[in-house]
Amino acid sequence: MRIALLSIFLLMSFVGFSQSLSFEKVLVEEPANPAVDDIPAFNNIINSSNQAIRARWIREVNDLPNGWKSSICDSEPCNQSRIDSADFILPANSSLQITPHVFPNGTAGEAQITVRVIDLDDRSNNAVATFSFPSISSVKDPFSAGPRLYPNPATDQFSILSDESLSEITVTNMLGKLLKVLPGHSPSYDVSDLPNGIYLVSMKDSYGRIIKTLRFSKRSYRP
């Protein structure tokens, strides 16, 4: 009887202290180019248990230069820069993309942000990831890094700045399915019909060659 009770106790202790939350990567690095308006760093929080978890992500800004801003994008909408935490449900055996963004506003520097995810019903079940945005040499000519897409994320439309003649813009999903074919030169491009998510925007020169492909985030924002 004592052996049976001890076995049950040990099993309950193991279950109680099991760690089912984890980040896909504990460290994410994304170079911080001051000529880029919005720099995202992608990661996934994983729930490896067979039960849904009531969770909360918490942003901790370790280093952010003056003039920069940061925000966190989670399941659907992106959060305004003033939001430091948000609650969400992480279904059993699933993952959720957690994406810190930094906005250099043309100022050179580097940033570091830590995101902590905790289980609201078991605080010992948590995960931490660090997002580092190391500085690169300041770009004197903002077009030297190639065409730029802004704003990113966007809600209804985006624009492209380029010193090269563009003949065509294509938008595909992350699986490569072609969703839009747009003219090369336009003040803005309407994407209001696209659902929230991550897309690839490819830009072709006058010879029809793809000269750059950028990740583009279509997001609605929480009020």
**CB distance 109 to 32 below 8 Å:** yes
Distances in whole angstroms, Cα of residue 172 to Cα of each of 107, 146, 181: 31, 20, 9
Which candidate, 123, 71, 115, 120, places its Cα nearest to that of 96? 115
Across the chain, mean pLDDT equals: 83
Tokens representing 15? 């279950």
Cα separation, 74 vs 123, whole angstroms: 20
Q: Is the pLDDT of residue 223 over 60?
A: no
State whether residue 178 is helix, strand or coil: strand
pLDDT of residue 139: 39
Q: Does residue 120 have a pLDDT over 80?
A: yes
Look-up: residue for tokens 């209001």? 192
What gap in Å lies between CA 88 and CA 124, rounded to an integer?
Answer: 17
For residue 43 the two structure tokens come to 């990661």
Mean pLDDT lowest among 44-53, 54-63, 102-111, 116-125: 102-111
Output the pLDDT for position 150. 82
Block residue for tokens 């800004």: 61
Global pTM reads 0.59
Can 17-133 and 148-218 be said to share one CATH topology?
A: yes
Task: Provide the pairing of β-strand 111-119 with 53-63.
Answer: antiparallel
Cβ pair 85, 130 in contact under 8 A: no
Report domain 17-133's class.
mainly beta
Residue type present at position 58: I
Among candidates 27, 114, 118, which has minimal Cα distance to 62? 114
Task: Enumerate the domain spans of the chain.
Answer: 17-133, 148-218
Q: Quote the CATH superfamily of domain 148-218.
A: Immunoglobulins (2.60.40.10)
| pLDDT tens-digit map of 169-204 | 999 988 788 999 999 888 889 999 999 888 989 898
Cβ atoms of residues 20 and 125 within 8 Å? yes
Mean pLDDT confidence for 15-22: 70
Whether 15 has a pLDDT exceeding 70, the answer reads: no
Res. 67: pLDDT tops 70: yes
Q: Give the residue ranges of DSSP H helices in the chain.
A: 2-16
pLDDT tier at 11 (50, 70, 90 boundaries)? very low
